[in-house]
C-alpha cells in the first residue's frame, strides 16, 4: 500500500462569517487576503509536506482550486516544483491538473515533465475536469469540458512519448511545432491516478486507461458499487483489478486524545465544510454534467450529487441571508459533523481511534492507495504538525501491517492493469461487502 498525505492548504486566517454569509467559499471576496499571513500559510504547507516525508508518508498529494479560500493551491504545479527540490523520497501526487480549465496542454506537459525530472521520477500525475466553479473562474466552456479533458489528455500522452518535432491539429487544440525539450524522467510516462466523486463516466474512463481511481471521501456503499463497475469493465477488457486500481481519500485528524481531536476536527465543517465549496449554481454550470447525471438530478429529489439536489438547486438564490441565522447554521453543521463521523466519511480521534476506523474502512473497499486529507479551518501549525506526527508514528505502522495482511497492493507494488484475465473467467471481488454489512453504518 502507498499512503499519502493531502491537504487543501486552506486559507486559515479568514473569518468564518463571510463564508457563511456567502453560503460558499467560492465567491468570497479576496479583500480578506492578508499578505503576511498568506506568506506564512504557503510556507507552512511546504514545511508540512517535508515533515510528512520525515514521519514516513510515502507520498504528498496536492490539488488546485481557483478563486476559493477553501484551497490556497491555485497553481499546483508551482508547489509541486518546489517540493520536487525540497523533498527527496516522497512521491508527489497531483490530484490533479484541471486540464479543461488550463486550456494549454503543451504547457502542462512541459511543467509536469520538469517536476518529474527535478524530482528524478517521483511525480504521479492525476487529471481532473475542474470543479464547476473553476469553469467560471477560468472562463472555460463547461459544455465542452469532457471534450477538452479527453483531447488535452491524449495530446499530453503524445507530447511525452512521441519524438518531435511534429504538428498537431486537433479539435480544440492546435500546435505547429511540438518538440518539448523536457520529457518525463519516468518511462514511458509517470503513473496517472484519477480522483473523482463517483461520476460513472470517469470510473469507466479510468478502467479503459487502466488508471487507478481515487474516491474522494465518498460514502462506502456507493464507493463499492462504483469499484465493482470499474472491475467489471476491466474484466471486459481482459484484466483483473486489484487494490492497485483503487485509492481512497479520507478526511482524518489525529490528536493526543479523542476529546481534543473532536474539538479541532471541527475544522472540517468550518464555513460549512466541503458541501459549502461552491453554491449549486456554480457547482453545476450548464453542460458540465452528462445527460444521465442531469436526468438523475431531475428525477431523484432526495438523491444529491456533490451535495447538490434539485431541491437545493431550486432553492439557491431564492432566500435572503438572515444574519441572525449564524448560530442555527452552526448547530446544523455540528449535526452534520457527527453524522459524517458515524458514516465513517470523516475520521477524527486519538491514534488508536483513527487506526481502528481506517482499518475498518480499508477492509471494505480494499484500496492500494490510502490518502489522509488533513483538517480544514483555523487549526494552528502546532496542532496540524502534531496530527502528522501521531499519524506517522502511531497510525501508519498499524495501517501498514493491516494492509499487508489484507494484501492491499499499491500501484507501485503491482502495475495496474497487468493482471490478465482470460475471456469468460469470473473476476475476483474487489470490495468486501460482508465487512460493510458488519459496520452497520446508518
Give residues in contact with other proteins (CB under 8 A): 136, 139, 141-144, 280-282, 285-287, 291, 294-295, 297-299, 310, 313-314, 316-318
The residue among 251 and 280 lying less far from other proteins, judged by its C-beta, is 280
Assigned C-alpha cell, 146: 469532457
The residue among 120 and 171 lying less far from other proteins, judged by its C-beta, is 171
Q: How far is the CB of 319 from other proteins (least distance, A)?
A: 12
User: Packing angle between helix 35-55 and helix 76-86, nearest 10 degrees?
Assistant: 50
Q: Decide: 350 and 386 in contact? Cβ < 8 Å.
A: no
Q: How far is the CB of 347 from other proteins (least distance, A)?
A: 35
Nearest alpha carbon to residue 229 among 205, 247, 250, 193: 205
The residue among 223 and 278 lying less far from other proteins, judged by its C-beta, is 278
CA distances, 417 to each of 18, 100, 239, 242 (Å): 47, 26, 6, 9
CA distances, 160 to each of 108, 157, 185 (Å): 11, 5, 10
Cα separation, 193 vs 213, whole angstroms? 6
The residue among 30 and 299 lying less far from other proteins, judged by its C-beta, is 299
CB atoms within 10 A of CB 330: 14
Cα separation, 298 vs 300, whole angstroms? 6
Q: How far is the CB of 294 from other proteins (least distance, A)?
A: 5
- DSSP 8-class letter at 394: I
Cα separation, 323 vs 342, whole angstroms? 30
The residue among 309 and 343 lying less far from other proteins, judged by its C-beta, is 309
The residue among 136 and 213 lying less far from other proteins, judged by its C-beta, is 136
CA distances, 202 to each of 128, 280, 307 (Å): 9, 21, 18
Q: How far is the CB of 328 from other proteins (least distance, A)?
A: 23
Greatest Cα pair distance, the chain, in angstroms, is 64
The residue among 176 and 291 lying less far from other proteins, judged by its C-beta, is 291
Q: How far is the CB of 104 from other proteins (least distance, A)?
A: 15
CA dihedral 310, 314, 319, 324 (to 10 degrees): 10
Q: How far is the CB of 191 from other proteins (least distance, A)?
A: 33
Q: Decide: 63 and 7 in contact? Cβ < 8 Å.
A: no
The residue among 104 and 295 lying less far from other proteins, judged by its C-beta, is 295
Query: What is the bridge-based pairing of β-strands 194-196 and 174-178?
Result: unpaired
3-state SS assignment for residue 343 = coil
Q: How far is the CB of 289 from other proteins (least distance, A)?
A: 8
Q: How far is the CB of 297 from other proteins (least distance, A)?
A: 8
Amino acid at each position: 500500500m502507498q499512503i499519502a498525505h493531502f491537504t487543501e492548504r486552506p486559507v486559515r486566517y479568514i473569518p468564518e462569517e463571510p463564508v457563511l454569509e456567502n453560503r460558499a467559499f467560492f465567491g468570497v471576496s479576496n479583500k480578506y487576503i492578508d499578505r503576511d499571513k498568506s506568506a506564512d500559510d504557503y510556507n507552512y504547507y511546504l514545511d508540512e509536506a517535508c515533515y510528512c516525508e520525515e514521519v514516513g508518508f510515502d507520498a504528498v498529494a496536492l490539488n488546485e482550486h481557483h478563486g476559493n479560500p477553501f484551497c490556497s493551491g491555485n497553481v499546483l504545479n508551482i508547489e509541486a516544483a518546489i517540493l520536487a527540490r525540497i523533498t527527496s523520497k516522497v512521491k508527489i501526487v497531483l490530484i490533479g491538473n484541471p486540464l479543461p480549465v488550463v486550456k494549454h496542454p503543451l504547457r502542462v506537459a512541459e511543467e509536469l515533465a520538469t517536476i518529474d525530472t527535478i524530482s528524478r521520477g517521483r511525480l504521479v500525475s492525476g487529471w481532473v475536469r475542474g470543479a464547476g466553479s473553476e469553469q467560471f473562474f477560468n472562463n472555460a466552456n463547461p459544455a465542452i469540458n469532457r471534450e477538452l479533458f479527453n483531447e488535452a489528455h491524449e495530446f499530453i500522452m503524445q507530447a511525452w512519448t512521441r519524438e518531435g518535432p511534429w504538428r498537431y491539429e486537433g479539435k480544440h487544440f492546435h500546435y505547429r511545432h511540438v518538440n518539448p525539450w523536457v520529457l518525463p524522467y519516468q518511462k514511458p510516462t509517470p503513473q496517472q491516478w484519477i480522483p473523482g466523486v463517483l461520476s460513472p463516466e470517469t470510473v469507466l474512463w479510468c478502467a479503459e486507461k487502466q488508471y487507478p481511481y481515487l474516491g474522494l471521501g465518498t460514502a462506502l456503499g456507493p464507493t463499492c458499487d462504483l469499484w465493482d463497475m470499474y472491475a467489471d469493465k476491466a474484466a471486459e477488457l481482459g484484466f483483473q483489478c486489484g487494490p492497485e486500481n483503487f485509492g481512497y481519500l479520507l478526511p482524518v485528524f489525529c490528536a493526543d486524545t479523542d476529546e481534543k481531536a473532536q474539538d479541532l476536527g471541527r475544522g472540517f465543517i468550518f464555513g460549512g465544510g466541503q458541501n459549502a465549496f461552491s453554491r449549486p449554481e456554480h457547482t453545476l454550470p450548464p453542460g458540465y454534467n452528462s445527460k444521465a447525471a442531469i436526468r438523475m438530478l431531475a428525477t431523484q429529489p432526495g438523491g444529491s450529487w456533490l451535495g447538490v439536489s434539485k431541491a437545493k438547486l431550486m432553492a439557491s438564490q431564492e432566500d435572503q441571508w438572515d444574519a441572525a441565522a449564524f448560530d442555527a447554521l452552526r448547530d446544523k453543521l455540528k449535526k452534520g459533523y457527527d453524522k459524517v463521523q458515524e458514516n465513517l466519511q470523516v475520521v477524527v480521534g486519538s491514534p488508536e481511534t483513527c487506526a481502528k476506523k481506517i482499518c475498518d474502512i480499508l477492509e471494505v473497499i480494499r484500496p492500494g492507495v490510502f490518502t489522509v486529507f488533513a483538517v480544514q479551518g483555523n487549526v494552528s501549525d502546532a496542532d496540524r504538525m502534531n496530527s502528522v506526527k501521531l499519524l506517522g508514528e502511531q497510525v501508519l505502522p498499524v495501517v501498514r501491517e493491516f494492509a499487508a495482511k489484507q494484501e492491499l497492493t499499491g500501484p507501485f507494488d503491482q502495475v495496474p492493469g497487468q493482471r490478465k484475465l482470460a475471456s469468460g473467467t469470473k473476476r475476483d471481488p474487489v470490495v468486501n461487502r460482508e465487512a460493510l454489512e458488519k459496520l452497520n453504518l446508518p
